[in-house]
Structures are given as C-alpha cells and as structure tokens.
Amino acid sequence: MEQVIKKEVEKWGVFEISLKGNSEGNPFTDYNIGGTFTNDNETKTVDGFYDGDSTYIVRFMPSFEGNTSLPLKELFLRKYIGEVLP
C-alpha cells in the first residue's frame, strides 16, 4: 500500500523527509535510502543518509515551482508529494 504525505517548501528551500527504519547491522553501509524527485521541469536522484537512532533522511532543494513527487527506493515504500512555493 502506498502512503502519501504532503509537504510544502519554497523554491530553493530544503525539502527534507525523516523516516524511521532498520538499525540492525551497520545502517551506514547495509541499507540504502534515496529517491528521485520529479516535477514537470526536472528530475533529480539523490541519496539519503543514516542520521542515528534508526532515523534516515533524504533532502532535496527544488529549483522549480509546482508539485514534486518522491517515491523512495529500497528501504521505504512511501510516496511523498511536495508543493514548491514561489
């Protein structure tokens, strides 16, 4: 099941998603998180990182206004929709 979470961020602002995930083994090397941010004007693939305490973070700085989606890869099966403001 796909979960949709909406966030708003200004153009050139930081779009950040923080998620809880696995911490077994070595979370810095055993797991990957990242995503491809897509809107009508651009597509950017970014890597996320482990931030400690079972928390993973993905960040993106949009350069265009409008709706941006981010299906996260591998670790988390969620879809995020962001509205980039002027």
**For 29-64, what is each residue's pLDDT tens digit?**
777 788 888 888 888 888 889 999 989 888 888 888
pTM for this prediction: 0.71
How much is the pLDDT for 38?
A: 82
Max Cα distance, the chain (Å):
42
Assigned CATH topology for domain 3-85: Immunoglobulin-like (2.60.40)
| Mean pLDDT, residues 12-38 taken together | 82
User: What residues does each domain of the chain span?
Assistant: 3-85
Neighbours of 80 (CB within 10 A): 22
Whether the Cβ atoms of residue 18 and residue 51 lie closer than 8 Å to each other = yes
Distances (CA, A) of 80 to 24, 26, 27, 29, 66: 25, 26, 23, 24, 14
Return the residue matching tokens 């969620």. Answer: 78
Mean pLDDT of the chain: 76
